[in-house]
Copies of this chain bind each other. A is one copy, B any other.
Amino acid sequence: MKWLDAVNWTADGLVATIAQETGTGKVLMMAWMNRESLQLTVETGHAVYYSRSRQRLWHKGEESGNQQMVKDIRLDCDNDVILLEVEQKGGIACHTGRHHCFFKQLKDNQWLEVEPVLQDPNDMYQNKG
């Protein structure tokens, strides 16, 4: 499809994707998509990423239930970064059980963890095989 061809995919067939929370404006996470995951995201209305470590599609929330409902999809000037506006189910985007992934703040040459864990990851992934 033409709109998929417009994306400037990496040599590995990926595009960097930022998820921003609707309402709060919080930047929740950055992940990668391939062509199939972007198409599935559009078709289903749920964020589907491509996991580079697991080398497979990653339906966000497939294990935790913390899906992202997509409200808006943007592409940047160079066609190589996507910005999603999402509603974050469960209020937790990070696998550590935090609201978002950017919880380490640089202060006095140290990374400090400045955001609370809202749910124990062991509980989030209790159904994991």
A1-25 interface with B by 8 A CB criterion: 1-3, 6, 16, 18, 20, 24-25
**A111 → chain B closest CB, angstroms:** 6
| A56 close to chain B: CB less than 8 A | no
CB distance from A53 to the nearest CB of B (A): 9
Known: A18-B30, A72-B105, A83-B102. A111 touches B77 (CB 8 A): no
- Identical subunits present: 2
> Which secondary structure dominates chain A's binding surface?
mixed
> Nearest Cβ in chain B — how far from A110, in angstroms?
6
Report 18 cross-chain contacts, Cβ distance below 8 Å, ordered by A residue: A2-B110, A3-B109, A18-B18, A25-B25, A27-B27, A30-B30, A30-B76, A42-B106, A72-B105, A73-B106, A74-B102, A76-B101, A76-B104, A77-B94, A77-B95, A79-B104, A81-B101, A81-B102
